Structure 1
């Protein structure tokens, strides 16, 4: 089933997606999709609204309308969806497992410490504390790398011997219970 929207022939699926994002007009969905793919605000407006207001409306009014549309939460959600990002909700108190892992990774902590150190005055007590923390985290990271290099791997033969006589140790006369040949 196909429906008509001011110059566009859109599928019902597009209308449903726009409605799911709580958009007032399916053209907002078109606009947000174009913005998410990397188009400029002006070009996305010109395509989605077929030039409506361009050259007719006062420039400041047109810019204001574009900014209003760009600021809408539903539009931002769609842009993030197209770009493959998750919209960050500052009010949310919950963390996803991925966010938690990223925030607590040694690399992320070290990166945040280095950024904090850059903002502090060189030689100040805060700078010295931050530098000490960076050294500690660097040591932890180095210890982790060293531990990985000390792992012992045991290799088990593909075909296991069924009895003592099949064992290579027994065949070589090195089994502890075997009588030594003289």
Structure 2
């Protein structure tokens, strides 16, 4: 079963976010805390949403997805999936497809034009799975797109130029 995360679930979601970071060997990259996560999801103007994958037999949360809306002047409104995490012992059991298909249904219901997420193309089994769903790696005039990020001191330096 897929269900929305509620404010009462914030502690569990926060621990799963850290579990995902541990799995990715990236715990040092987390700079948000539980309070900020709560404001993002449940504040007066939410900027993100999350869903849990729940085992139908045990009621245990076995995965989650966290997403936000993005807008493109070329493609319209879309879901950007920031996290999709399945407990490592359950990868490949269909939970990832259940989460993605739930978000696809939300996209269709709300008129969003596409879904997007980051992934490592070097992780061939995962990349092959995404391609099997019909996912593409977008390109503009023949070149692959990449994501540029500005944060920390460079972001502050640029802000001072305003």
Give the alignment's TM-score, normalised by structure 2.
0.23
TM-score normalised to the size of structure 1? 0.21
Instruction: Select the structure that is richer in helix.
Output: 1
Flag the structure with more relative contact order, 1 or 2, with Cα contacts below 8 A and sequence separation at least 6: 2
Which of the two has higher C-alpha Rg?
Answer: 1
